[in-house]
Structure 1
């Protein structure tokens, strides 16, 4: 495990090093992809043969995968067996199984073996903790779902990793977290805002598990006294990590990204994991909305840079045939009045919106936010009814914060 993780760390560091040209990186990626298409993809019954090129494969999604989970992995693991394992110890022989949180609907499954766990560990360390070989780390992971992937980090010798279950609520884990005194902290931005001022800031901090809104970043970075990083990870694998300059770079050393236009300058990724050999994910359509960066990052990485992961397609609102992505709605509300620090915007009907502000938000701030929304929507030729109210039901412990969502029944 340790030797494989070290090899993955070295490979990740080498092929993503600053100064490597994009052309040379893409040549390496093409060779790895071709080998994966010939050797690993045919092991999944859904495919069964070697394609001439990636573009010849059909686009898949969560519904396709979950309709016949066994057809997409080389070990014949069924969805039923995977769910049973998750209820037990998340093991099937030498395999580890896990599930998504199901934020956008039904949960998805994944299955990996020990080699892939080691590859994941090496890649994460290379990107998030590149100096792990120089100093020991205490890493705290605060997320609603535990996975044995996290346990792999404790085999790295110099790393102690502890998982804190957000579903239990802060009263259950906050004191223990403070005693652990993490040097690196990974948590959703809503939790990081809760912790700000309640504990000493860690040396490194990464947002994960929720969209990082512009409303959250300043408060968290004031507490940290430095830059907040991001880890972009999902059931589909490790998808991106920020560099030292604070730029989120896609993990193209393990995943090939294709992009479908989604409107408003956003794209939705199709991902192909060419370092995975148990569960095959080829041209898998994600539900995410991403804005790619047009400017090169000063770090010199050959990996594509992302300006923002703005949310999920499920959270995009559609009124009168007009698509409204979460980022433009969030920006309009937050930009209306600097006293607004939190809100919820829900589409409750075909042409009705509900805007909820904090209970203590000033009346004129609420009016400014509603006015900003009306102006934004009028510019797109639509005029839905906007209900404004104070307060909203608190999220359950561990539930992802979604400030913009479609709540149509």
Structure 2
């Protein structure tokens, strides 16, 4: 991987944009070039867009994970053996050696939290550019200063291995290992920046870790408010965030902790869930990703747009929260008619937090159409209130499902934490 390319991308990635016009100019230029390149080199997209002019790309038919995986070989802009790639990725998962590649291309799996695993294919040039971009978005201080960055991840990446230098050192901590061992390694390595899932950062706060770092970054899971408060209280600093998926790096926080969309590398359109409340599914079009194009790709995530400007002054659009996934919407039987009402994760989250003022952690799991299990910490809470749930059922005009309080079972690991999830399908 070219460190010169990484440096170039770092230098030319603005810390802030002062007006929307500059962002839109970059996006228009980027998408114009990207559509031409992809139509020429991806057999799938050439078919998918047949008869549609390039300048109407914003209305092109959507794709999602299932469409991408069903057409993966033809979707790529290079001809690679996808079956060989799957064998390589499977072997990497088993051996925990993520260095093998197919030529200049790195391959990996997503975590599969949505029920199906995606795959990503990235060239060495894309890795170099990605590294420079993420360092620009997440590195406090200069790239020419010394930094030791810790990454608590489910899987290591060739990117981190190759971008390291005498000044920037990456340390990988495998989530497949025991948390106590990870904690000891982190303390021993004396990091400047620690990036990891909020469930692990919360574990470090709960065990009163003496860890001292300049910056904490939550990644790979949704940062719930209950975890953010506990982590920030223990470590005495803002918990920053990288909001990313297999399909792209979507947002990162500014110095105030506000998530700003990475609009200089992608266009993010909105498919409204509730426009009045600002809830939407992001439709992403990445104009820098070449090997595995992501254009008009609808994510299952539900984002909450910010209704006020961030005090940092950045013109990149900001979001208040990543509310959860479409898959995590609870389905509750309607009253007086057939069918189910969709209850978004935010309503469930608020109802859970009204159950008791001493709750420090929770998981709400819809087991069936008639039963919800709520796991709470600390255990043994008395005088539990269900009033918050009753208000939701009355407002949504649904039947009242059975709610069972159970022991808290989640342990931070390679399995992602989803505090609110639905475990059944209709």
Please state how far the C-alpha of 1:112 moved relative to its aligned partner.
0.9
Shift of 1:111: 0.5
2:43 paired with 1:24 = no
TM-superposed deviation, 1:216: 0.7
Alignment of 1:52 onto 2:55:
yes
1:117–1:152 contact (8 Å) kept in structure 2: no
Counterpart in 1 of 2:303? 290
2:199 counterpart residue number: 190
Unaligned runs of 5+ in 2: 93-98, 334-339
Does structure 2 retain, via aligned residues, the 8 Å contact 1:340–1:361? Answer: no
CA drift of 1:356 comes to: 2.2
Partner SS for 1:394: coil
Note the C-alpha offset of 1:150.
2.3
TM-score (norm 1): 0.93
The TM-score with structure 2 as length reference comes to 0.90
Residues 1:251 and 2:262 are matched in the alignment: yes
Structure 2 partner of 1:8: 9
Tell me, in whole angstroms, the C-alpha distance in 2 between the residues paired with 1:324 and 1:78. 42
- The equivalent of 2:185 in structure 1 is 176
Distance 1:183 1:106, change over 3 A: same
Deviation for aligned residue 1:6: 1.4
Residue segments in structure 1 that go unaligned for 5+ positions in a row: none
Aligned CA distance change for structure 1 residues 296 and 254 (closer, same or farther; 3 Å): same
Q: Within 5 Å, give how 1:333-372 maps onto structure 2.
A: 333-358=352-377, 360-364=379-383, 367-368=384-385, 370-372=386-388
**Paired residues, number:** 402
* Equivalent residue number for residue 124 of structure 2: 114
Q: Does 1:374 align with 2:390?
A: yes
Paired residue secondary structure (2:30): helix
Matches within 5 A, 1:68-147: 68-86=71-89, 87-88=91-92, 89-133=99-143, 135-147=145-157
8 Å contact kept, 1:101–1:145: no
CA RMSD of aligned residues (A): 1.9
Distance of 1:70 and 1:105 partners within structure 2 = 21
Residue 210 of structure 1: aligned partner: 221
Is 1:330 equivalent to 2:349 in the alignment?
Answer: yes
How far is the alpha carbon of 1:388 from its aligned partner? Answer: 2.3
Structure 1: how far apart are the matches of 2:184 and 2:405? Answer: 35
How far does the alpha carbon of each residue in 1:96-120 deviate from its partner, in whole angstroms, 9 at most, with x for none? 1111000111110011111100110
- Post-superposition Cα deviations, 1:16-53, rounded to whole Å, max 9, x if no partner, equal 524x2112221221111111112344311112377332
Please state how far the C-alpha of 1:154 moved relative to its aligned partner.
Answer: 0.9
Task: Report Cα offsets for 1:230-280 as digits up to 9, x if no partner.
Answer: 011110121111001111011111111111112354101111110011111
105-114 or 21-30: bigger deviation: 21-30
Match of 2:26, SS state, is: helix
- 1:76 deviates by 1.8
CA contact (8 A) 1:142 1:164 kept: yes
